[in-house]
Amino acid sequence: MIIERQEQVTDAVLAAMSETGHPRLAVIMDSLVRHLHDFAREVRLTEPEFEQAIGAVVALGHLTTATHNEVVLAADVLGLSTLVCLMNNGPTGNTETAAALLGPFWRMHSPVTPNGDSIVRSPTPGEALTVRCVVRDVDGAPVEGAVVDVWQASPVGMYENQDPDQADMNLRGQFTTDGEGRFWFSSVKPAGYPVPTHGIVGTLLAAQKRAPLRPAHIHFLIHKPGFKTLVSQVFVDDEEQLHADVVFGVTRSLVGKLDRGDDGLSLIHAFVLAPGEAILPKPPIS
């Protein structure tokens, strides 16, 4: 097609893609082009703005390394990661699902750790915390033998791969549920923290006058054949930032119960695994 006016560009692109052999790719790309072109028309995108946007996309790639994923972070602060998670988990895609975004800091091969042991692997000042969890199926029966990956930031608000003062794999561990579906471990109470702001995402948040803060939480990834892999987070219920998560990850069912008893501080939570395919996500960092 020879283009005579700007309104024809969209139709020309759609026609060029019409022979796409993969049905799902065809649907996604057709919709993407339509929405992308409509967006450009709606905001009357200027050439300098377009060049700036291309530069931002390039920078997202350059800033993504083995220890930091700026692309995932951008999807998180735009709410896209949480939206995709909620659309694909739970019976109605509502905010009561126990699933949550993976985030940019999961690593594979966390140390296998017996139930009851500590995930503190280097000096980590902070309030001692015991985490007690149970994993059940949708009928309420305990799930034995589920592998649970756990990771969290330290009380200074940094994951160990960000902090040279922490040992490798500090505050990470891999547990297996017992015959009653339980796993438990000791740690330190996590703190809220700012997401990395040294790159494109930080520039965007500053321009929008948004605080880059996440409320205190612990990550969980639960995996067992026959069940859909559950990626979740549990938030500390006394955290002030619960209503202002920069990545929109706090849902009601993810707020854990924090107890201060005679034996110290404990965080209690229950997870439900739905039947499905046990697929591990691709780690955002190594």
Cβ atoms within 10 Å of 168's Cβ, excluding its own: 11
Residues 105 and 16 in one domain: no
Confidence band for 37, pLDDT divided at 50, 70 and 90: very high
User: Which whole number is the average pLDDT over 133-155?
Assistant: 95
Burial of 244 (0-12, 13-18, 19+ CB in 10 A): middle
What is the average pLDDT across 148-160?
Answer: 94
Verify that 16 and 104 share a domain, yes or no: no
Count of Cβ atoms closer than 10 Å to residue 238 Cβ: 11
User: Looking at the domain assignment, is residue 115 inside a domain?
Assistant: yes
Q: Please check the confidence at residue 98 and state whether its pLDDT lies above 90.
A: no
Average pLDDT, stretch 146-165? Answer: 94
Cβ atoms of 188 and 154 closer than 8 Å: yes
118-125 average pLDDT score: 95
Same domain (yes/no): 130, 203:
yes
Same domain? 160 vs 257: yes
Mean per-residue pLDDT, 136-158:
95
Tell me the per-residue pLDDT of 191-208, one tens digit each, with 9 for 90 and over: 888 999 999 999 999 999
Q: At 99, is the pLDDT very low, low, confident or very high (cuts 50, 70, 90)?
A: confident
Band the pLDDT of 103: cuts 50, 70, 90.
confident
Given a cut of 50, whether residue 55 has pLDDT beyond it is yes
Q: Read off the pLDDT band of 39 (50, 70, 90).
A: very high
Q: Identify the pLDDT of residue 114.
A: 98
Q: Which of 175, 204, 170, 199 is nearest to 187 (CA)?
A: 170
Mean pLDDT, all residues of the chain: 92
pLDDT in tens, 212-249: 999 999 999 999 999 999 999 999 887 777 988 999 99
Q: Are residues 125 and 259 in the same domain?
A: yes
Claim to verify: residue 14 and residue 76 sit in the same structural domain: no
- pLDDT of 59 above 70: yes
3-state secondary structure of 269: strand
Number of domains in the chain: 2
Residue numbers of the domain that contains 20: 8-45
- Within a domain: 106: yes
Q: pTM (2 decimals)?
A: 0.84
Residues 77 and 140 in one domain: yes
What is the CATH classification number for the domain harbouring 96?
Answer: 2.60.130.10
pLDDT higher than threshold 50 for residue 95:
no
91 plus 209 within the same structural domain? yes
Using the predicted structure, report yes or no on whether residue 94 has a pLDDT greater than 60: no
Q: 165 Cβ partners below 8 Å, 6+ apart?
A: 122
Using the Cα atoms of residue 284, residue 77, residue 204 and residue 43 in order, give the sign of their dihedral. Answer: positive
Average pLDDT on 248-269 reads: 87
Judge if 78 and 38 occupy the same domain. Answer: no
pLDDT (0 to 100) of residue 91: 59
For residue 56, give both structure tokens: 């931002």
Question: CB neighbours of 53 closer than 8 A, spacing ≥ 6?
Answer: 45
| pLDDT for residue 257 | 83
Task: Give Cα separations from 62 to 68, 80, 86, 107, 168 (angstroms).
Answer: 11, 21, 29, 20, 25
**285 part of a folded domain:** no
Q: Which residue has the higher pLDDT, 232 or 95?
A: 232
For 113, the 3-state DSSP assignment is coil
Q: Are residues 97 and 229 in the same domain?
A: yes
Task: Write out the two tokens for 284.
Answer: 């955002």
In a domain, residue 2? The reply is no
Q: What is the mean pLDDT of residues 28-38?
A: 98
pLDDT at 237: 84
% of the chain with per-residue pLDDT over 90 = 74
Going by their DSSP bridges, the two strands 264-273 and 128-137 should be labelled as parallel
pLDDT at 68 over 50: yes
Residue ranges of alpha helices (H) inside 135-227 are 200-207
